[in-house]
Chain A
Amino acid sequence: MSRRVLVVDDAIFMRTMISDILKKGEFEVCGEGATGAEAVDQYQKLKPDLVIMDIIMPDMGGIEAVKAIMQLDPNARILMCSAMGQQALVVEAIQAGARDFVVKPFQPSRVLEAAQRALK
Chain B
Amino acid sequence: MDTAKYINLFVSETREHLVSLNQALLALEKKPDESSQLDEIFRSMHTIKGMAASIGLDFIADLTHKGEDLLDKMRRRQTAAASEEIDLIFLVLDFLEEAVGLVAAGKQPDESLNQRCRELVGQIEGLTAVTQETEPVKVSSNGGSDFKRINPLKTDNSHVFKIRILLEQDVSLKSARAFLILHTLERIGRVAYTVPERHDLESEKFDRGFTIFLVTDQEDQEELRNDISCADVEDIQIEEVREESAEEALERKTIGAFVQLAQEKAKDVKVSVARLDSLMNLVGELVVWRERLKQLAVQNGDPAIQDGVDKIAQIASDLQQEVLTARLVPMSEVLDRFPRVVRDAAKGLGKEIDFTVEGRELEMDRAILQMLSEPVIHLLRNAVDHGIELPHQRKQAGKSQVGSITLTAQKQKDQVLIKVVDDGKGFDLERIRRKVIDNGYLTAGRAAELTDQQLYEYLLLPGFSTADKVSELSGRGVGLDVVKRRIEEMGGSFAMESRPGQGSVFSITVPLSLAIIRTLLISAGDQTYAVPITQVKEITNIKQKALKTLHGKRLLQFRNRVIPVVRLASVIGLSPETDIGEGPALIVDRQGSELALLFDTMIGQQEIVVKPLSRFVKGIKTFSGATIGREGHPMLILDLNNIAI
Contact = CB atoms under 8 A, between A and B. Distances in A.
Given A95-B183, A100-B180, A120-B226, A90 B231 contact: no
Nearest to A115: B231
B173 A103 contact: yes
Given A110-B232, A113-B231, A84 B180 contact: no
A99 to B, nearest CB: 8
B291 to A, nearest CB: 68
A82 interface: yes
Contact of A84 (B172, B179, B183): B172
Nearest to B171: A103
Contact of A100 (B172, B226, B231): B231
Contacts of A82: 173, 176
A12 interface: no
A114 B180 contact: no
A12 B173 CA distance: 24
B173 A87 contact: yes
B172 to A, nearest CB: 4
Nearest to B183: A94
Contacts of A91: 176, 179
Interface residues of A, number: 18
B603 interface: no
B180 A94 contact: yes
Interface in B221-244: 226, 229-232
A86 B179 CA distance: 13
A101 interface: yes
A113 B168 CA distance: 13
A110 B179 CA distance: 19
A117 interface: yes
A51 to B, nearest CB: 15
Contacts of B175: 87
Q: Which of B176, B180, B183, B204 has the most CB of A within 10 A?
A: B176
A91 B175 CA distance: 9
Interface string B94-118: 0000000000000000000000000
Q: Which of B173, B175, B179, B230 has the most CB of A within 10 A?
A: B173
A87 B229 CA distance: 19
A22 interface: no
Nearest to B226: A120
A102 interface: yes
Contact of A103 (B172, B204, B229): B172
Given A94-B183, A95-B183, A114 B230 contact: yes
B230 A94 contact: no
Given A101-B231, A110-B231, A120-B226, A87 B176 contact: yes
A100 B175 CA distance: 13
Contacts of A117: 229-231
Interface in A56-101: 82, 84, 86-87, 90-91, 94-95, 99-101
B179 A94 contact: yes
Interface string B171-201: 1110110011001000000000000000000
Nearest to A113: B231
A97 B204 CA distance: 22
A38 B29 CA distance: 65
A87 B175 CA distance: 7
B180 A101 contact: yes
A87 B173 CA distance: 6
B176 A90 contact: yes
A76 to B, nearest CB: 16
Nearest to B231: A114
Contacts of B232: 103, 110
Contacts of B176: 82, 87, 90-91, 94, 101
Interface string B195-212: 000000000100000000
Given A94-B183, A95-B183, A86 B173 contact: yes
Contacts of A90: 173, 176, 179-180
Nearest to A82: B173
B183 A102 contact: no
Contacts of A102: 231
A102 B230 CA distance: 10
Interface in B68-103: none
A91 B226 CA distance: 21
B173 A84 contact: yes
Interface in B407-441: none
Contacts of A101: 173, 176, 180, 231
Contacts of B229: 117, 120
A82 B176 CA distance: 11
Contacts of B231: 100-102, 110, 113-114, 117
A87 B179 CA distance: 10
B264 to A, nearest CB: 28
B229 to A, nearest CB: 5
Interface in B495-512: none
Interface in B213-227: 226
Nearest to A102: B231
A87 to B, nearest CB: 5
A98 to B, nearest CB: 9
Contacts of A114: 230-231
A94 B183 CA distance: 8
Nearest to B175: A87
A46 B232 CA distance: 29
Contacts of B183: 94-95
A113 to B, nearest CB: 6
B81 to A, nearest CB: 39
A18 to B, nearest CB: 14
Given A94-B179, A110-B232, 19 more contacts: A82-B173, A84-B172, A86-B173, A87-B175, A87-B204, A90-B173, A90-B176, A90-B180, A91-B176, A91-B179, A94-B183, A99-B230, A100-B180, A100-B230, A101-B180, A103-B232, A113-B231, A117-B229, A120-B229
Interface of A: 82, 84, 86-87, 90-91, 94-95, 99-103, 110, 113-114, 117, 120
17 contacts: A84-B173, A87-B173, A87-B175, A87-B204, A90-B173, A90-B176, A90-B179, A91-B176, A99-B230, A100-B180, A100-B230, A101-B231, A103-B171, A103-B173, A113-B231, A117-B230, A120-B229
Interface of B: 171-173, 175-176, 179-180, 183, 204, 226, 229-232
6 tightest A-B CB contacts, nearest first: A114-B231, A90-B176, A103-B172, A100-B230, A84-B172, A87-B176
